[in-house]
Structure 1
Amino acid sequence: MFNGLYSHLSPSDAEIAAQTLTEESQYHFPAFSTNDAVTLGLSIRKRFRGSSRHTTKGRGLVISIQTVAGHTLFSCSVGELGAPSSLGDASLDSWACLEGMINVVRRTGHSSYYVEKGLMALGKTPKEMGIRSDYNVNGGAFPIWLQV
């Protein structure tokens, strides 16, 4: 009788965090080489360039695939870099923002999206949880784990 009654409601932050954690645990690779990083990076770039976020809305994107030690395996931007009047494009600040997300992944071992949704589910701010200002708790950075 009540099936589908609330199907229009968005999932809660706790549900999104739980789903994200499940997805993180499922994505383990047997190996990950520099060639894999380039292939993955170019695939993300191609997919984004074909998306409405880029083609219709003019949004930009920065991509960086790094080792946990900080060695860059792939990096690129999509959009006009450094154009102050184009808010949707990639900017120099975009790279700093991305580094903050990568800091979250390095510190927690989880995606910055999971950490963001987990904090929201707890009703806490990054500052309340003692997260440093050079950490950017927003979705965007995802750990790549290898199978043991």
Structure 2
Amino acid sequence: MSDDDTLLKELLEQEEELQFIRFSNEMALELGLALLKEARTRSKPVAIDISRHGLQLFHFAMEGTAIDNGEWIRRKNNVVQRFGHSSFYVGRSLKQAGRTMEEKYLISSQEYAAHGGAFPLIIRGVGVVGTVTVSGLPQQEDHELVVGVLRQFLATRDTVRQ
């Protein structure tokens, strides 16, 4: 198994692991604040977005971010909504195939960004209902920030499968 195959497998395992049994607007606020706290701990300026069924439940842009971060969030979210996988998974899968979004799916990179940072908000037994997204760091760091905070968040609540 190649390094790319191993990474893709790990990314799919994260999606299987990091699922909720329910997700409320209040939880979006708590999760968003947890992401903000972790970003501040790392002294990393990011924009954070949590949406469910197209409704933005949390959005915050730290000092040091720009309007471009909002565009990256929109484009990364489009990837998750279309493919049902993290934007990092889709990007790494395309890289492994040696193809671009335009070549493989005939969709515009102006509307879709297969770069790390958007993770599917998954309800167990339901599927993808939204996105948890960070923009502002290199793509792998964006992804790791979201996954790390999601893992901690789920571990401290009864919102994860037993």
In the alignment, does 2:93 pair up with 1:118?
yes
Give the CA RMSD over aligned residues. 1.3
TM-score (norm 1): 0.78
Counterpart of 2:101 in structure 1: which amino acid? P
- Residues 19-62 of structure 1, C-alpha deviation per residue, up to 9 Å, x if partnerless? 101110122111000010000000000001111xx2xxxx4211
More helix by share: 2
Unaligned 5+ runs, structure 1: 1-10, 80-88
Distance in 2 between residues matched to 1:13 and 1:126, nearest whole Å: 18
Distance in 2 between residues matched to 1:120 and 1:61, nearest whole Å: 25
Q: Which one of 51, 60, 76 corresponds to residue 76 of structure 1?
A: 60
Residue 117 of structure 1 deviates from its aligned partner by 0.8
Contact residue 12 and residue 121 of structure 1 kept, 8 A: no
Question: Which residue does the alignment assign to 2:67?
Answer: 92
Residue 139 of structure 1 deviates from its aligned partner by 0.3
Matched residue SS, 1:143: strand
Unaligned 5+ runs, structure 2: 126-162
Residue 109 of structure 1 deviates from its aligned partner by 0.6
Return the index of the structure with the highest Cα Rg: 1
In the alignment, does 2:48 pair up with 1:63?
yes
Identity of aligned residues (%): 33
In the alignment, does 2:42 pair up with 1:37?
no
Aligned length: 122
TM-score (norm 2): 0.71
Q: Which one of 119, 128, 138 corresponds to residue 115 of structure 2?
A: 138
